[in-house]
Amino acid sequence: MSGWDRETAWLVGQAQAEYARCIDADELERWPDFFAEKCFYTVTTADNLREGLAAGLIWADTKGMLLDRVSALREANIYERHSYRHLLGRPLPCPAEHTDPPDEPRTETPFLVVRIMRDGTSSVFASGRYLDRWALSGSAPKLAERVVVCDSKRIDTLLALPL
Q: Are 137 and 105 in contact (CB under 8 A)?
A: no
Least separation in angstroms between residue 38's CB and other proteins is 13
* Closer by beta carbon to other proteins, 14 or else 77: 77
DSSP bridge partners of 42: 59, 147
Q: Which is nearer to other proteins, 1 or 54 (CB)?
A: 54
With beta carbons less than 8 A apart as the criterion, state whether 31 and 22 touch: yes
Q: Minimum distance between the CB of residue 45 and other proteins, rounded to whole angstroms?
A: 7
Cβ-based nearer residue to other proteins, 11 or 65: 65
* Beta strands in 21-136, from DSSP E residues, in sequence order: 35-45, 58-60, 82-88, 92-94, 106-117, 122-135
Contacting residues toward other proteins, per CB under 8 A: 43-45, 47-48, 53-65, 67-68, 71-72, 75-80, 153-160
Query: Closest separation between CB of residue 129 and other proteins, Å?
Result: 18
Q: Which is nearer to other proteins, 62 or 83 (CB)?
A: 62
Using alpha carbons, select from 124, 150, 125, 132 the residue that is nearest to residue 49: 150
